[in-house]
Amino acid sequence: MKIIIAVLCCLSIGTYAAESTCYGTTSNGYLENGIQLPAEGPNYVGYSNIARLLGRTYVHSEVYNIVLGAYANLENHAPGKVFKYAETGFQSGGQFYPHKTHRNGLSVDFMTPVVNQQGQSVHLSTHPLNKFGYNIEFDHRGHYQTLTIDYEAMGAHLVALHQAAIKQGYDLWRVIFDPDLQPYLFQTQYGNYLKKHIQFSKRRSWVRHDDHYHVDFDIPCQS
């Protein structure tokens, strides 16, 4: 038994000991030693097992720690809420179709948290028929079929990401979320914190970013 435990420990250390190195920018760069996010955890899941097998859920090692640290924090500060991450990037970074960024391990898409008609936190459905969630369209207030965007959960998540990044000596560079829906996010209990500490893109992106929000992390890269 001791031998088995020792082997498992060595495997675990080998899996996560290597630190990533990012190069260039999110739109023109690459990554060394990318780490794949877990398929699921106590309060989160990935958006697709298919995409995971295709290697589309790798990030920089520091981003890995930040994302998981934030989810762990939310277990206590947002109990009962569930979250889902989406596209991140390839293990070696580089071009990541159809995205214009996600090339150096510092970009992560998170599916928008939602509640059902009973007010329960549920996962937004992501499957090939709706382009893994990227083809969902919320209305101008954040409604889609029987679901409503959970702005409180989203605010709590962004705060948790920012605090986890700061704890590790980094920051968030920007958040891309539909400008028409941002006012509802700023009306939550986290609104003042978000306005003060996090930079939100005010320009309309080529993709609406209502079914998901894009987060770029501010971590130094090699030129």
Low-confidence stretches of the chain (pLDDT beneath 70): 1-17, 205-206, 208
Residue 61 lies in a domain: yes
Q: What pLDDT shows up at residue 8?
A: 33
What b/e readout covers 179-212, taking b as 16+ CB neighbours within 10 angstroms? eebbebbeebebbebbeeebebbeeeeebbbbbb
- Answer yes or no: is 27 within a domain: yes
What domain range includes position 101? 2-218
Long-range Cβ contacts of 184-188 (<8 Å, 24+ apart): 184/141, 184/142, 184/149, 184/151, 185/151, 185/154, 185/155, 187/151, 188/151, 188/152, 188/154, 188/155
Asked whether residue 10 is assigned to any structural domain, the reply reads: yes
Q: How many domains would you assign to the chain? A: 1
Torsion of CA 23, 195, 73, 53, to 10 degrees: -40
Please give the pLDDT value at position 56: 97
Report the pLDDT value the prediction gives residue 4, as an integer from 0 to 100: 35
pTM, two decimals, is 0.90
The CATH code of the domain that includes 203 is: 3.30.1380.10
User: Is 107 inside a domain boundary?
Assistant: yes
Please give the pLDDT value at position 202: 85
pLDDT in tens, 97-147: 999 999 999 999 999 999 999 999 999 999 999 999 999 999 999 999 999
pLDDT of the residue at 203 = 75
Place of tokens 């605090």: 163
- In the chain, the N- to C-terminal Cα span, in Å, equals 47
pLDDT the model gives residue 25: 97
Q: Give me the helices (H) in the chain, please.
A: 2-16, 49-53, 61-77, 151-167, 182-186, 191-197
- Check whether the bond before 98 is cis (ω within 30° of 0): yes
Q: What is the pLDDT of residue 206?
A: 63
Question: How many angstroms separate the CA atoms of 93 and 101, rounded?
Answer: 10
- Position 205 scores a pLDDT of 66
Q: Is residue 51 part of a domain?
A: yes
Which tokens hold the place of 199?
């930079």
CB neighbours (10 Å) of residue 96? 18
Establish if 223 belongs to a structural domain: no
The token duo for 62 is 């520091």
User: How far is residue 84's CA from residue 102's CA, in Å, rounded to a whole number?
Assistant: 17
pLDDT digits (tens, 9 = 90+) for 21-35: 999 999 999 999 999
